[in-house]
Amino acid sequence: MNNKDKIEIINILKNIVAINSAYPTGNTSTLNQYIYCYLKNSKLHLSLEGPGKDKLNLIAKNFKGNSKSIVFNSHIDTVQPNINEWTTDPFRLIKKGNFLYGLGSVNCKGSAAVQIYLAKQLKNIFPNIKENISFTFVGDEENLGPDGSYYLRKKKLINPHTLILGAPTNNNFIVEERGVFWASVHIKGKTSHAGEPHKGVNAIEKATKIIHALQNKYKKSLSKFNIENQLSTMNVGLIKGGHNVNVVPADAYFQIDRRITKQEKVASSFHELKQFIQKCDPTAKVKFDTGTNSFSSNKNNIYLNKLYNSNLAVKKNKPKFLSCIGVSDGRYFANDKINIVNIGPGDGNEGHTSNEKMKISDLFDYYKILRDFLKNL
């Protein structure tokens, strides 16, 4: 890797950090227009795809059509920064010592910068490559939404036999992931004056009773699904209710995040949760919001082995196989029986934090690993 490569990768990262793609609203169109212009002379087949002008994803292929391919994937949306906690401008890439600071520098614009540069170089460096290669730069990941990788899969715009995700792993590997679903619970009560609360039905109090039961009974029952380093979990992450302090609230709402192990399925897990809640309160309305099953890839597949060997050649140490805390866009392909591998630069603990920072050597190692992988296909 020469200095020109290093300067260009950092320059790309600087440019894409500067483009606000934070959710909400998660508008990725401006950023993908930049990537499109950067790749327009790459001799790749480029297309911007999405459900609307504010929700565009970019696909770059070294082939025509929709044949099976290796698909590189980076999401380019970020979370909103807490400006009060940032000591620098989150939309300006700043170098301090061995680190680059900026919103999304780790999750996931660092891997995107490397993949953008590799896409630009692909035809020149590997003119005789026989593998079908696709690069995808997507949004809606931070929203667990349907307008990014899910959209590309649903519309059959990509057809991976191997999906290589760029979420941060310190360039180690994640090849399995828990499933996830979100559920909403709506509670009805009856309004009355706060001075005569006995004449109303307090929806917030009803909701808290359900939440108490979830925490003290349902949550404890999930341990039977734990397997190896995967935990079956539940978290109440959002609650709303009422409209004025001097009125008994007639409405309350809360939302649940459920992470499921490979011993569970989304449909049956949601049904079990719904039954528990409605046993606590038969009037509660429980709605399935979104969710996908867990996945586990074959550690002996040929492409993972090639990536592993490239990693070993670059870093000189055996890479680790990690357990994933969060979820990636790989979840949309969980039922497709394909190879799903997550490898990316940066520490996963930096994602979603203020003053997010990318270790520069991690960024360059990622480039060298992917380049060596492509060379040896």
CATH number of 179-292: 3.30.70.360
The domain spans of the chain are 3-177+294-375, 179-292
Q: CA 149 to CA 144: how far, in whole Å?
A: 10
List strand residue ranges (DSSP E) for 192-242, in order.
233-241
Q: CA 72 to CA 85: how far, in whole Å?
A: 33
CATH number of 3-177+294-375: 3.40.630.10
Helices (H) and strands (E) in the chain, counts: 9, 17
The C-alpha torsion from 299 through 302 and 307 to 308, rounded to 10°, is 50
**60 strand-pairing partners:** 46, 135
Reported as a single tens digit per residue, the pLDDT across 138-174 is: 999 998 889 999 999 999 999 999 999 999 999 999 9
Residue 155 near residue 35, CB atoms below 8 Å: no
Reported as a single tens digit per residue, the pLDDT across 312-366 is: 999 999 999 987 877 899 989 988 989 999 999 999 999 899 999 999 999 999 9
Would you state the pLDDT for residue 298?
A: 85
Same fold, 3-177+294-375 and 179-292: no
Reported as a single tens digit per residue, the pLDDT across 249-290 is: 999 999 999 999 999 999 999 999 999 999 999 999 999 998
